[in-house]
Structure 1
Amino acid sequence: MAPAQWLIDRIVDVAMQPGLAAAYAAACARHIDRPGLYEDVISDKAILEAVHSVRKNHPDR
């Protein structure tokens, strides 16, 4: 399966990982529009960690 398709299939699982969910909630509380665009709000590292966490639970994909 192509990486993009894997992410499409698991986007909710990735978004709901504790670190990302908390960062997104904090951004919403601060009225930050589109928090994923700002490295200091939701970092690439946090996104990668969330993807790795989901992949551990879904290694077949």
Structure 2
Amino acid sequence: MTPREIELLTIAKLEHDGHQLEAVELRKLKRQLEDGAALSKRYREMMTGPVYRWSKPVPRR
């Protein structure tokens, strides 16, 4: 499900439950959904990316 579909379903559910959504609330909801999608994408990239290998730095002489 795309973030836009989730946004529309959430708005429809809230309005069905009797809530009156203002423009501020709609912007906040949209921003939260976009942030959540970005976080899940970053997490997926981090988990599927190459393993980090630390090596001890060469001492200066």
Please, what TM-score do these two structures have when normalized by structure 2? 0.35
Query: Which has the greater radius of gyration?
Result: 2
TM-score, structure 1 normalization: 0.35
